[in-house]
Amino acid sequence: MGLFDNAVPGGNITKPLMIALGALLVGKMLSGRSEEQPAEPQAPAPPPAGTSADGGLLGGLGGLLDKLRDAGHGNVADSWVGTGPNQPINANDLGSAIGPQVIREIAQRTGMNEQELLQQLSTALPGIVDKLTPNGQIPQQHQVASAFNN
């Protein structure tokens, strides 16, 4: 997996978790079908509200961090970007910050139930954001997207 090795406690990033992270941070996994499903001619689904073309459900990494800050978790989010230790976030706090509509959308895409999704995201995001921001700087969106292509 390269960049994300050791980003998650236990080092195990499951495919549904990668889909969820991609949906939040990149948006590339929101087409409505996975690689395993046969390509059928169909009209593309409109992107969910708040989705940018290449920036994930919340406008990419910066948008996710803004949502966390707006919900009162700025110190936690900033610890993930900064060079010090990463502070944990409670799954329910993460869900409140991201919003129920986005969590529902990602849960449907991954096949996970919402609580399991939030639990895994709350465990994974501190390390993933930390890996994506090695110098305490938020990368350009194309750099985040390239991390998911490796």
pLDDT tens, 42-83?
Answer: 333 444 444 444 456 667 888 899 999 999 999 999 999 998
Indicate the SS3 state at residue 118: helix
CB-based contacts of 84-93 (< 8 A; 24+ apart in sequence)? 86/126, 86/127, 86/129, 86/130, 87/126, 88/122, 88/126, 89/122, 89/125, 89/126, 90/122, 91/115, 91/118, 91/119, 91/121, 91/122, 92/118, 93/122
Tell me, yes or no, whether 38 lies in a domain. Answer: no
Single pTM value for the model: 0.74
> Which residue has better confidence, 1 or 36?
1
pLDDT at position 52: 41
What does the alpha-carbon distance between residue 100 and residue 95 come to, in Å, rounded to a whole number? 7
pLDDT at position 73: 96
Tell me, yes or no, whether 10 lies in a domain. Answer: yes
Is residue 118 left, alpha or beta, with left meaning phi > 0 and alpha meaning psi from -120 to 50? Answer: alpha
Tell me, yes or no, whether 45 lies in a domain. Answer: no
Q: What is the CA radius of gyration of the chain?
A: 15
Tell me, yes or no, whether 39 lies in a domain. Answer: no
Tell me, yes or no, whether 12 lies in a domain. Answer: yes
Tell me, yes or no, whether 40 lies in a domain. Answer: no
Q: Which domain holds residue 25?
A: 2-31+50-149
Tell me, yes or no, whether 136 lies in a domain. Answer: yes
pLDDT tens, 120-131?
Answer: 999 999 999 998
Burial 6-32 (b: 16+ CB within 10 A, else e): ebbeeeebeebbbbbbbbbbbbebbee
Indicate which CATH number applies to the domain containing 13: 1.10.10.690
Instruction: State mean pLDDT over 11-31.
Output: 73
The tally of domains found in the chain comes to 1
Tell me, yes or no, whether 42 lies in a domain. Answer: no
